[in-house]
């Protein structure tokens, strides 16, 4: 018996969780990818996914476009499900995770209006930044915290203190990087 394609199973699961309004939103966002005549024949999310696969807009190796679509129609829960499809569980040690959380607190307390410069240097996409800002209006600290969390989630094992410190230094935020290094060295000494 042939094995079922895991990507198809994922797409089927996602399609079952989308309503007609969300389908219409996704179709609207795909106007550049799918011609109008073909678009009129799409009646379900799975139908849309099939067309996007045929056009190689989505594939088992690259589901980024689907993640963007789902985030744009305000379904970050489904976008995260898609992202987890490619993500084996993180192997970052608990200590490193604690240090990252500590570093995030220091960054949130000390980086001001230039926070987007730091987040961009960490490779967080402009659309992610915009979504976080939209979801947390007038709360710069929470915007920064959420963007750092997105970076950690996306980079997984690559989200380390050294990457964070280097990004801070590249953005000329040396004082913040020194505070992080000092705080982590103090906690290493305490353990």
* 110 & 168 share domain: yes
Q: Tokens representing 99?
A: 């240090």
pLDDT of residue 98: 74
* 131 & 180 share domain: yes
Does a structural domain hold residue 30? yes
Pairwise CA distance, residues 134 & 138, whole Å: 9
Provide the domain limits for residue 23: 6-86
pLDDT of residue 191: 46
pLDDT of residue 89: 45
Tens of pLDDT along the chain (191 residues)? 356 678 888 999 999 999 999 999 999 999 988 898 999 999 999 999 999 989 888 888 788 889 889 999 999 898 888 888 766 544 445 556 678 888 999 999 999 888 999 999 998 888 889 988 888 888 999 999 999 988 988 887 788 888 899 999 999 999 998 998 888 877 655 54
* 54 & 113 share domain: no
pLDDT of residue 62: 80
User: Where do the H-state alpha helices sit in the chain?
Assistant: 6-16, 20-29, 36-39, 45-54, 64-72, 76-86, 94-110, 115-121, 126-135, 140-155, 161-170, 174-190
Domain count, the chain: 2
CATH number for the domain that contains residue 79: 1.10.533.10
* 184 & 159 share domain: yes
* 80 & 111 share domain: no
* 82 & 121 share domain: no
- pTM, rounded to two decimals: 0.51
* 25 & 76 share domain: yes
């Amino acid at each position: 018996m042939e094995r079922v394609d895991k990507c198809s199973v994922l797409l089927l699961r996602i399609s079952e969780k989308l309503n007609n309004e969300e389908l219409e939103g996704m179709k609207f966002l795909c106007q550049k990818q799918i011609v109008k005549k073909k678009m009129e024949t799409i009646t379900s999310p799975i139908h849309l996914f099939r067309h996007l696969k045929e056009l190689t807009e989505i594939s088992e190796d690259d589901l980024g476009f689907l993640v963007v679509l789902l985030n744009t129609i305000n379904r970050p829960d489904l976008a995260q499900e898609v992202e987890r499809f490619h993500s084996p569980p993180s192997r970052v040690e608990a200590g490193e995770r604690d240090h990252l959380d500590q570093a995030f607190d220091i960054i949130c307390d000390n980086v001001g209006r230039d926070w987007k410069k730091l987040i961009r240097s960490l490779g967080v996409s402009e659309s992610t930044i915009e979504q976080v800002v939209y979801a947390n209006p007038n709360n710069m600290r929470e915007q920064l915290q959420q963007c750092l969390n997105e970076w950690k989630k996306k980079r997984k094992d690559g989200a380390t203190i050294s990457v964070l410190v280097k990004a801070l230094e590249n953005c000329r935020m040396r004082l913040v990087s020194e505070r992080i290094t000092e705080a982590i060295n103090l906690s290493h000494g305490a353990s």
